[in-house]
A and B are shown apart, each in its own frame.
Chain A
Amino acid sequence: MSEPSAGLASDKPEPWGSGGGAKAPTGFPAIRLPLIEAIWRARGDVPLDPSLTNEEVFARLDPLLRTPGTTIVTEGEALIYAKDNPAAQDKLATFTRGRMWIERAGQGAVLRFDLFSHALLLCFLAPLLFLGFAQMAVAINDWEAASGAATEEKKEDDKPKPVKKLNPVDEFLGAPAPEDPNKKKDEKKDEGRHSPIEGYVLAGIFFVIYLVGRWLEPWLARRRLRAALAAPPPA
């Protein structure tokens, strides 16, 4: 994966500009944070048959891109698309904006792509939300413990509870008898009404989902572009 040459890039609007193609205002340096941007951007290239003209290449990509809710514009040498909440089965649903252009050097040619994903960005941020919920659970527990509401509730059950028995049918079939409700209790510490564990676990799960998506989705996008370019579009 390599960056587009400076000359080419300066002609092309950034895919994440307004309307899918606004240039950064002149005199205002575009902010480039390659490491951070890698969270939501996927860049790469696909080798091309050099005998194909630019129009032919974009015609082959057309069936892949022309899906409901997608706007496509050609600006100079580049093709820019933007998707508005694409359908679940849209092959490029994860990448809601993108720019593609052709680079020729000597005998060879490549299609370069630079794709932007809201989904990857939000998935990257999702763990923060669930860590927040976990912290909220801890805070509410502390607050309730301090206000003493939880402890008062516990007191009322001093009278012994009736021991429940199984139906004779279940006794005959050998189901374990219910526990005596008066026995246990003591070992259970009062840890509060809410558990933060789910929040922590889910934050971890979303981080894993992000890592899988960050690897899988660019790989799939590249594979789909390659497949689309390999054959002429259906008549």
Chain B
Amino acid sequence: MTGTQAGAGTQVGKRIIGADAPVIVGWENIGKVEGGPIKQFVFTWFQPVMLIAAILFWYYAPNWLAVASTAIAIRLGWMVLLLGLEWVNPRYESWQLTWKEFATDAFYVALGMTFLRMVDAYIGDGAIIAAVQGAFDWSKFSWFTGLPLLLQAILISMIFDFGQYWMHRGMHNWHPLWLVHAPHHYITQLNINKGAVGNPIELFLIGLGIGGLFDFLPRAFLLAGAIGMTVAVYQHINVRFNTPRWWRYVFNTVEHHSVHHSQDYEATRSNYSGTWIIWDRIFGTCVDGEAELLGMEGGRRMHIGETMVFPFREGWRDAKAAWARRFGSDRAKGAAVATPQLEPAE
């Protein structure tokens, strides 16, 4: 997608992107890998080669190896490798990982693996699906298991991402949901663990999927996980890639996601999907480009404590203001109107 220059910002469709903060629009304008032929080669082909390798592994791995614990072990090694890539070939120096950022990110990742998982066991999608499954005869979907494995995996991944797309778009368009999502938009740089940074309620909501409703083969779920691990993981990575054109047409990339996290209000109302940017293309929210300056309120960093209480604090303030507007005295109404409202960075 190419934009036309329109004074401050760039016109994309009916919207002006980059009026509030710098955003690069259009693939021809984004940065390229700098360095010799080997570096060029590695950072051009790394993503597709790893995707194919992961698919082949999960396609042919014997049953005793094709289990969740193998996936966890691979994921751990994979994260270490990606941290190495961030070190060697950062996209922006201003996003470089520091000890404090790493420790902070690790806290959110760890919270997701312990506390959130425990809560999820009771009210997560698994529990909801189990309840719904009891009410209907879902066996009519069992023909899914007869489809080719790769097709099943792509279906699982696309169905999950479709749900995530609308949940995410809802978060940017409905104030109560925005309040739980806002802390994630206070991140000022992207690194591979930044996907886990946010209020736990949001992380719970975004993890809800409807894929579990349908009957797929276990191997297809592992294959879908492999697609997620080798595609969606790059949305928060601080690595400069020469991403192939076909890849960035179909899949979400860090370029797309940096636009979504930009300090520019209009730019954040784009690129909602996690893995399949094709959903954004279909629903008219895709902006191809990249941004370096990220965050809210001019790039104010939000610490862990505030991240935990933000939705409740802001929700309480908004509810009080709304109450005052409706039932309060004239003076209170005036004060409520004057109170600066937290603007959804939709």
Contacts and interface: CB of A to CB of B under 8 A. Distances in A.
B11 to A, nearest CB: 32
Interface residues of A, number: 42
B98 A89 contact: yes
A191 interface: no
A225 interface: no
Interface in B146-190: 146-149, 188-189
A194 B121 contact: yes
B149 A87 contact: no
B102 A87 contact: no
B301 interface: yes
Nearest to A196: B114
A223 interface: no
Contacts of A26: none
B103 A119 contact: yes
B63 A176 contact: yes
Interface string B84-114: 0000000000101011111110110010011
Contacts of B102: 209
B136 interface: no
A209 B20 CA distance: 38
B142 to A, nearest CB: 8
A122 B103 CA distance: 10
A176 B66 contact: yes
Interface stretch (A5-13, A36-44, A74-82, A210-218): A210-218
Contacts, number: 98
B15 interface: no
A133 B94 CA distance: 35
Interface in A158-179: 162, 164-167, 169-170, 173-176, 178-179
A213 B60 contact: no
Contacts of B60: 174-176
A187 B194 CA distance: 38
Nearest to B139: A162
Contacts of A130: 110, 114
B217 interface: yes
A212 B99 contact: yes
Interface in B267-299: 299
Interface in B57-94: 59-63, 66, 94
A88 B149 contact: no
B236 interface: no
23 contacts: A85-B303, A86-B301, A87-B188, A87-B299, A88-B101, A89-B94, A94-B99, A119-B100, A119-B103, A123-B103, A126-B110, A130-B114, A162-B142, A166-B217, A175-B59, A176-B219, A178-B217, A193-B121, A202-B114, A205-B106, A206-B106, A209-B102, A213-B99
Interface of B: 59-63, 66, 94, 96, 98-104, 106-107, 110, 113-115, 117-118, 121, 142, 145-149, 188-189, 217-219, 299-304
Given A205-B110, A206-B110, 20 more contacts: A85-B300, A85-B303, A87-B188, A88-B101, A89-B189, A126-B107, A130-B110, A136-B118, A137-B114, A164-B145, A165-B146, A167-B146, A167-B149, A170-B149, A176-B61, A176-B219, A178-B63, A178-B219, A199-B114, A209-B103
